[in-house]
Structure 1
Amino acid sequence: MNDTLKSHPSAGAYLGRGIYDVAEVARLTKCSRRRVEGWTRTGAVREPLLSGELDGLFSFWDLLSLRVIGELVDRGVPRAEIAEGANYLAVRLGTHRPFAHQGLATVGRGFFADIGSWVDVGRGGQQAFQVVIEPLLKPITFNESGMAAIWRPHLGVWVNPEVQAGAPCVDGTRTPTATLAQLHNSGLSIEDLSDDYRLQYEQVQAAIDFEASMAA
């Protein structure tokens, strides 16, 4: 992804915001590429649920928004209601990426409970929203503006848009998990990687486990 970022003519304006292509969004959200493209590309008869902030590429907020969209789709919320909800929440929360805002947990709950089918989707009445959305928000650290700042998708791993263009790294470091996993797969032991990168054994193991879970 760093090569993609460096080669993009507008990349300078997006430094510190994370940068992902469709393939990486699909990998990190555990959705198929076809589904992500279906949500983010204009079709013959419908508008996208979300358009990438950087000419077909996606920001950190886009990535987390698509996690929420994917969960709503999986729960059976109609596409039109997701779009309506996004527009409503954008106004209420004052951001163009409401699904990456901390306020989604409160403002969104009332809205999705009111629009009809959402209540039935979670099989728990009005408690459905907490059951579905709060686990998605729990591993996220929000900034003072209420917007997502850091995502920890796995114990010992962080996705920080200000570090390595938002690539998953060992928590608190700039070491990409993919680098460690690739080196381990090529034959280097966890002990060797710990020494080479000045990491604890558990940190390297967490990185390898995370990458394995993404490939599963």
Structure 2
Amino acid sequence: MLDRLIAGPGGGYLRSLRHLVQGERDPAWLQLPDVERGLRATRDRGLGYDVLVRDHQLDQAIRLAERFPDLPQVLDHAGKPDIARQDLAKWERGVRLLAGHPHVVCKVSGLITEADRTHWTTADLRPAWDVLVSAFGPDRLMFGSDWPVANLAGGWNRWAATVDELLTGWSAGDVHALLAGTATAFYGLPLVPGESNTNTPST
């Protein structure tokens, strides 16, 4: 299947695979033999894997990182911390353990839909944001829009403006890493003419 996708129309643009693990009830779904066979095939074809889990499933993501140290992985939506209740302790422990694996990066997206979707503020997001920055560092974080799901909690424009606010005081290099460099390196994207990327690919 993967070979057909890669060889088919647009197959050269395939960079990573994702499954909605967040909807799987098996607490060890990512460790199932069939799943691991698919992950090995993903790795062997030079692709990455986007890990979409909720905060209570981070142990699966950690085991995945341990078992596949040569498979580039990105934690989607920051592992979906429970921002609405500010119940972040277990999530933070999982994120810091996951960040200990250098082949794993993190996509900063989906935070606003994990907050109170009607009344969230930048201050509500900052505790989770600070954990991510501390755990992964700017050069292993990538911005994501989570569009169109973000429309449930204020939309693209408000999320983008909030990220701009959270980036206040960052160096130009760190801003570039989060907004472009990490994603460019992870997904093997072509550089914009005249632009350099100091991030190293997560391989």
TM-score surpassing 0.5?
no
TM-score (norm. length: structure 1):
0.30
* Structure of larger gyration radius: 1
